[in-house]
């Protein structure tokens, strides 16, 4: 799995970090990246709204029927569909995959990778990388006293650490 780029969105859907690590994607204008970030932010919100009726666990009956279905025995119960974890997880296209991770504080980490099919181990792989990025983000952005919340990230150490993680030596 090659990592093409990383985007970080603040909780309002604004793009606060954009970096390409490996060639593979088109370069867009700064404005287009903002539009792209906003679109993903919107679709993320919409995606949880279109959760199929039978999966919504706010009605007790739906939860009961899920427990009784065989196919759900080996699945964990769905997370409350309004929680911020139920938005987009991944997007699969012919030429790249997008994996998303939203922190509890609403910051979205978006990873664009090469398409290797969304195999389950690939998914966990991408999730792992996203979590590592979140750790780097906490260490080198949030602990940086000169960083203004919700503003674009300009921290050299963060650039360095993410490049070390995402770019093959």
Partner 1 sequence: MIYSLWIFDRHCIIQQDPKAARPLVGGGTVNLNNDIDSAKLLFGALFSLRNIASKLTSNVNIIDNTSSDLDFQKQNYLRSFATQNYRAHYFETLSGLKFVLLTDPSIQDMQKHLHEIYTNFYVEYVAKNALSPVDFKPGELIGSEKFINSVDSYILSLSVT
Give the footprint of partner 1 on this chain (CB under 8 A). 23-26, 28, 32, 36, 39-40, 42-43, 46-56, 69, 71-72, 75, 78-79, 81-82, 85-96, 98, 112, 117-118, 120
State the Cα–Cα distance between residues 66 and 87, nearest whole angstrom: 20
Q: Which is nearer to partner 1, 49 or 143 (CB)?
A: 49
Q: Which is nearer to partner 1, 15 or 112 (CB)?
A: 112
Token output for 147 = 């960083």
Helix (H) or strand (E) run with residue 145 in it: none
For residue 57, which of 25, 85, 29 has the smallest C-alpha distance? 85
Q: Which residues pair with 100 in a beta bridge?
A: 110
Least Å distance, CB 19 to partner 1, is: 14
Q: Which is nearer to partner 1, 125 or 144 (CB)?
A: 125
Query: Contact, 16 vs 153, CB < 8 A?
Result: yes
Least Å distance, CB 83 to partner 1, is: 9
Token output for 100 = 């998303």
Least Å distance, CB 148 to partner 1, is: 28
Token output for 16 = 């606060």
Phi, psi of 162 (to 5 degrees): -70, -40
State the Cα–Cα distance between residues 160 and 125, nearest whole angstrom: 21
Q: Which is nearer to partner 1, 99 or 137 (CB)?
A: 99
Least Å distance, CB 59 to partner 1, is: 10
Q: Which is nearer to partner 1, 14 or 24 (CB)?
A: 24
Least Å distance, CB 73 to partner 1, is: 12
């Amino acid at each position: 799995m090659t990592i093409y780029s990383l985007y970080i969105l603040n909780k309002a859907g604004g793009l606060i970090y954009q970096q390409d690590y490996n060639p593979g994607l088109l370069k867009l204008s700064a404005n287009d990246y903002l539009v792209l970030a906003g679109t993903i932010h919107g679709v993320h919100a919409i995606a949880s709204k279109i959760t199929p009726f039978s999966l919504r666990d706010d009605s007790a009956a739906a939860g009961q029927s899920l427990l009784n279905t065989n196919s759900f025995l080996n699945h964990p119960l769905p997370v409350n569909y309004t929680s911020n974890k139920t938005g987009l997880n991944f997007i699969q296209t012919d030429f790249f995959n997008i994996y998303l991770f939203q922190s509890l504080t609403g910051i979205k980490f978006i990873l664009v990778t090469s398409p290797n099919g969304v195999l389950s181990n690939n998914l966990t792989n991408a999730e792992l990388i996203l979590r590592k990025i979140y750790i780097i983000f906490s260490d080198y952005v949030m602990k940086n006293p000169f960083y203004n919340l919700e503003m674009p990230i300009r921290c050299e150490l963060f650039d360095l650490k993410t490049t070390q993680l995402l770019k093959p030596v």
